[in-house]
Amino acid sequence: MARPVLSICRRCEADDGGGEDAGSGEALFQRVKALRKARGLKHVFKLEGVKCLSLCRWACNATLEGKKRSTYTRSELHAEADAEALVTAACAYAELEPGQELSERRLPGVSGD
């Protein structure tokens, strides 16, 4: 089965006062990338940094999608607080059979729908 894809908007900039790049998409992308590499998860899910997911009002944003699976969009993500949970959710998503749904509780941030 094809690996699912976790896409993170690298241009997102949240105005949350969270410190040095805590709310930036680039910081989130780099943290998720480092966790994925450290845990040897490259074979489990793909990671893509994208220019925009068109949800700028609720930065930072990510989507999780895969063949014959529901697509999940999450917003208001933060590098420090959500990177680990995002990696965990991507791994759980990769284990789903076609037609199964991922529990919303497994996903950090808020629904981007």
The yes-or-no verdict on residue 15 having pLDDT over 60 is: no
Q: Sheet with 110-111: list strands edge to edge.
A: 46-50, 5-9, 62-65, 72-75, 110-111
Domain 5-111 class? alpha beta
Residues 81-104 pLDDT 10s: 899 999 999 999 999 988 888 888
Residues 31-70 pLDDT 10s: 999 999 999 999 999 999 888 777 666 678 899 999 888 9
Q: What span, in angstroms and rounded, lies between the C-alpha atoms of 82 and 108?
A: 6
Section 3-17 average pLDDT: 78
| Structure tokens belonging to residue 39 | 């845990």
Note the pLDDT of residue 39.
Answer: 96
Note the pLDDT of residue 10.
Answer: 83
